[in-house]
Amino acid sequence: MTSKQDKKEKENTKTSSEKKETRKKIEEVLKAKAEELEKAAEEIAPEFDYEKEAEELAFEERGEEILERKGPLPQAEVSASKYPKERKTYKSWFGRTFLQDRNSWVLSVMLVLLALTISWGFTYWIPQGNRDNATAALFQGGRAQDGLVTEKVEEKTEKIKAQSVVMLDPSLASGVQVVEEGNDGKAVYTYTRRYINGEKYSTDKKLKKWLVKPHDNKLRLGTSATGHKGKYKVARSFIANCTAYTSRPGAGGALGLGVHYGTCAVDPSYVSYRSELWIEGYGYAFANDCGGAVRGNIVDLWMGSTTACINWGRRNCTAYVLVPAN
């Protein structure tokens, strides 16, 4: 009896071990097949996300279950007034340019600029005390409150004084001056005065015609040695006690600038450095030097040689301090 039981147990054990081995082989084969399928899928669609697709599929299945359980969703009700209106098209240039939605801001900016322009003109062209009357005159057919806007036109003959002009002229010998007298002019001007309620608020003056044209008084100063030219004004004039000096070639003055014909030494407390002078008998002279003996109205003029200095000596000359006319 015991031997039969042992034999039966051995057979059962053998059968169970064979089943385990068979199951293990089947699992290995299935795993190998699954790996082959995954490799084939990756070759066909390498970026395909199986997990994401599985989640979406599960979500869709759950949504269908909810719809089957609760029924379909009701249709949304939309009022007819909510439908968008057809956009109006304009045929004219003005309509296409300014009345379309995309160009509405252009029209707004232009209106603002127009309002600012009118405001600026009203502020600067009409006096403060008469703006209310002027506004009433504009909007009440020329009648300002209880009065009229009137104009008075008259003509006047006026004398125009001749201007004095100083010109450096290289065509004249240096140190020579020529005076050309001009004449005063006469002209007829038209005055237009405007009144509001009897109060004057503006006057316009216009040239109607010349009776005699004015000509400037010209003072021509010779600068042939230096070649200077242009229009100047005489800042001041004085009688200069003029001496002369010379120096080695390439020498510099008190300002570090070269000295040559057309430069001079001055007393900076009497004539400022860098002043432009014109000296009678010498011509143009630029003040860029000083000297121990140069005091007050003394002006020491540069000469090209000792002989020229001796010939010049010491002279009292008319001197003009010039500034450009511009």
Does residue 90 contact residue 100 with C-beta atoms inside 8 Å? yes
Q: The tokens of 8 are what?
A: 């039966």
- Give pLDDT tens digits for 46-77: 555 656 666 666 666 665 565 555 555 555 55
pLDDT of residue 129: 46
Q: How far is CA 137 from the centre of its chain?
A: 40
Q: Where are the beta strands (DSSP E) in the chain?
A: 143-144, 147-160, 164-169, 177-180, 185-196, 199-212, 217-222, 230-245, 263-265, 276-279, 283-289, 298-302, 315-324
Q: Check pLDDT > 80 for residue 294.
A: yes
Q: Which long-range contacts (CB under 8 A, 24 or more apart) does 77-84 make?
A: none
User: What does the alpha-carbon distance between residue 241 and residue 315 come to, in Å, rounded to a whole number?
Assistant: 6
CB atoms within 10 A of CB 141: 7
Question: Looking at per-residue confidence, does 268 or 15 come out higher?
Answer: 268
pLDDT of residue 313: 94
- Give pLDDT tens digits for 97-111: 656 555 666 777 788
CB atoms within 10 A of CB 199: 13
Q: Averaged over 250-256, what is the pLDDT?
A: 90
Which domains occur in the chain, in start order? Answer: 230-324 (2.40.40.10)
Tokens 């097949």 sit on residue: 33
pLDDT of residue 29: 80
Q: Averaged over 183-200, what is the pLDDT?
A: 88
Q: Check pLDDT > 70 for residue 265.
A: yes
Name, in order, each residue with C-beta under 8 angstroms of 271's C-beta and a sequence gap of 6 or more.
277, 287, 299, 321
Q: Which residues pair with 188 in a beta bridge?
A: 157, 209
* Angle (CA) 186 191 193, round 5°: 165
Mean of per-residue pLDDT scores for the chain: 79
pLDDT band at 78 (very low <50, low <70, confident <90, very high): very low
User: Which range, of 161-165, 300-304, 311-315, averages the lowest pLDDT?
Assistant: 161-165
User: Which range, of 15-19, 103-107, 248-252, 316-320, averages the lowest pLDDT?
Assistant: 103-107
pLDDT band at 310 (very low <50, low <70, confident <90, very high): very high
pLDDT of residue 132: 47
User: Which range, of 86-95, 119-128, 141-150, 169-178, averages the lowest pLDDT?
Assistant: 141-150
CA distances from 224 to 70, 117, 118, 171, 185 (A): 115, 56, 58, 6, 33
User: Which range, of 19-28, 231-240, 262-271, averages the lowest pLDDT?
Assistant: 19-28
Name, in order, each residue with C-beta under 8 angstroms of 304's C-beta and a sequence gap of 6 or more.
246, 261
User: What does the alpha-carbon distance between residue 137 and residue 195 come to, in Å, rounded to a whole number?
Assistant: 11
pLDDT of residue 268: 93
User: What does the alpha-carbon distance between residue 223 and residue 225 come to, in Å, rounded to a whole number?
Assistant: 6
Does residue 289 contact residue 264 with C-beta atoms inside 8 Å? yes
pLDDT of residue 62: 62
Q: Check pLDDT > 90 for residue 220.
A: yes
Q: Check pLDDT > 60 for residue 251.
A: yes
Burial class (CB in 10 A: 0-12, 13-18, 19+), 217: middle
Question: Looking at per-residue confidence, does 64 or 204 come out higher?
Answer: 204
User: What does the alpha-carbon distance between residue 75 and residue 70 come to, in Å, rounded to a whole number?
Assistant: 15
pLDDT band at 243 (very low <50, low <70, confident <90, very high): very high
- Taking only Cα atoms into account, the Rg of the chain, rounded to an integer number of angstroms, comes to 54
Name, in order, each residue with C-beta under 8 angstroms of 186's C-beta and a sequence gap of 6 or more.
157, 158, 159, 160, 210, 211, 212
Q: The tokens of 85 are what?
A: 């209106």
